Amino acid sequence: MIYLDYAATTPVDSRVFDAMLPYFRESFGNPSSIHRFGQKAEAAVDAAREKVAAVLHCKPGEIIFTSCGSESDNLALRGAAIAKRNVTGKKWILTSKTEHHAVSKTAQQLEKEYGFLLEWLDVDEYGAIRPISLNKAVCTDTVLASVMFANNEIGTINPIPELAAIARANNILFHTDAVQAAAYLDVNVEKLGVDLMSLGGHKFYGPKGVGALYVRNGTELIPQMTGGGQESSLRAGTQNVPYIVGFAVALQLAMEERDARIAHVQPLRDHIIGEVLETISDSKLTGHPESRLPNHASFVFKDVDGNLLLQLLDSAGFACSSGSACKTGNPEPSEVITSLGTPRNWALGSLRITLGVDSSPAHVDEFLKTLPILVEKARGLHQR
């Protein structure tokens, strides 16, 4: 089986795994305990926080550990929007339909259940939010804008520093979901200029079940999980020490090895894009041709059932993914793909191929040899 779905999740790096192991049995204490077992666990969490802060170029106290990127998104949007509205009365939220559902559905809930007003930002043909789009939407009553750093489905990278500068000039909180971006892009928050940023460990060879939220000093948050005073009283619950340790090591490795990892995956990505567009009729790249994640290739194929194509690929020994809701039983094209203005008979045939440290030229060649045959097979079955 050849794995080509690194945007969905990554295997835990062996160095990360080794760093985590002692905190399951040997140093198993609760970081909130006073005794030496607790002190050792607390020291591990503190060291992890410092490691993450060093990568992000922020203060350790600006890092909140969470259970995943989705929780970080939820805490950022709900926590910051409510806290800011309590002080200013402002209630407009700006985001886009190309966001991960952890952002877009949270924004919709804030509108429906909490009395906020929601405006969807315009995206360009590549699914990017341009500064002109944010400028046009900003008003004196805007409380928060949330734009992802890089899109998980189509790989497009957004111009976060420019967008954050517009938000800051208008006294608007700015959040970015960097869950997909952190594996390959610089997440220096001073360069980005963001107030809040979400990360998830399993996208960069860390464990599933742990994430982080950067919160710039002075940014007020209403906790979404209440109880103990963990994480500066912003996220109650016993800290998951081994996972937090693993998260920090994985993020540090992602920064240290970024250039080498990009050099490995980008030529393979470019080869996939070139060959697919050349060898498969009625195929189209989705997302930006250049300003995209270095490991990410995504396409739509006319008159292809994307879910069927995934099943055929799986049977042939390839793990990929699609933009459509493939487990609902009633597939609909994803909002990301339709936001690009893609017609339905194309949008249903989306395919995402994402590469990683174990991807090889042989894997890619095998995939490129198989895909055209399976696309034609899927088209034949679709037309019956």
Same domain, 61 and 155: yes
Residue type present at position 31: P
Same domain, 189 and 101: yes
| pLDDT > 50? residue 129 | yes
With bands split at pLDDT 50, 70 and 90, how would you rate the model's confidence at 325? Answer: very low
- Which pLDDT belongs to residue 178? 98
Residue 143 belongs to what domain range? 14-256
| pLDDT > 50? residue 326 | no
Tell me, what CATH number does 347's domain have? 3.90.1150.10
Domain edge (last residue) among 256, 274, 307: 256
Tell me, what CATH number does 102's domain have? 3.40.640.10
The pTM for the full model equals 0.96
Same domain, 230 and 289: no
Same domain, 194 and 304: no
Catalytic annotation, pick one of 58, 139, 320, 326:
326
Same domain, 315 and 233: no
With bands split at pLDDT 50, 70 and 90, how would you rate the model's confidence at 329? Answer: low
Across residues 172-197, what is the average pLDDT? 98
Percent of the chain topping pLDDT 90: 95
Same domain, 224 and 107: yes
Same domain, 287 and 248: no
- Which pLDDT belongs to residue 330? 54
**Domain tally for the chain?**
2
Same domain, 90 and 18: yes
With a CB cutoff of 8 Å and minimum separation 6, the contacts of 66 are: 72, 75, 210, 211, 212, 213, 235
Residue 33 belongs to a domain:
yes
Residue whose C-alpha is closest to residue 175's, from 156, 158, 154, 155: 158
Give the 3-state secondary structure of residue 317: coil
Q: How far apart are CA 72 and CA 56, in angstroms?
A: 16
In what order do the strands lie in the sheet containing 350-354?
A: 283-285, 296-301, 350-354
Same domain, 170 and 99: yes
Domain edge (last residue) among 229, 256, 283: 256
Phi/psi for 205 (5° steps) reads 70, 25
Domain edge (last residue) among 201, 233, 256: 256
- Name the burial class of residue 121, with classes exposed (0-12), middle (13-18) and buried (19+) by CB atoms within 10 angstroms of its CB: buried
Residue whose C-alpha is closest to residue 379's, from 305, 317, 314, 319: 305
58 flagged as catalytic = no
Q: Regarding predicted confidence, which is higher, 382 or 141? A: 141
| pLDDT > 50? residue 56 | yes
Residue 160 belongs to a domain:
yes
pLDDT tens track for 197-242: 999 999 999 999 999 999 999 999 999 999 999 999 999 999 999 9
- Which pLDDT belongs to residue 331? 67
Same domain, 273 and 212: no
Helix (H) or strand (E) holding 64: strand 63-66
Residue 9 belongs to a domain:
no
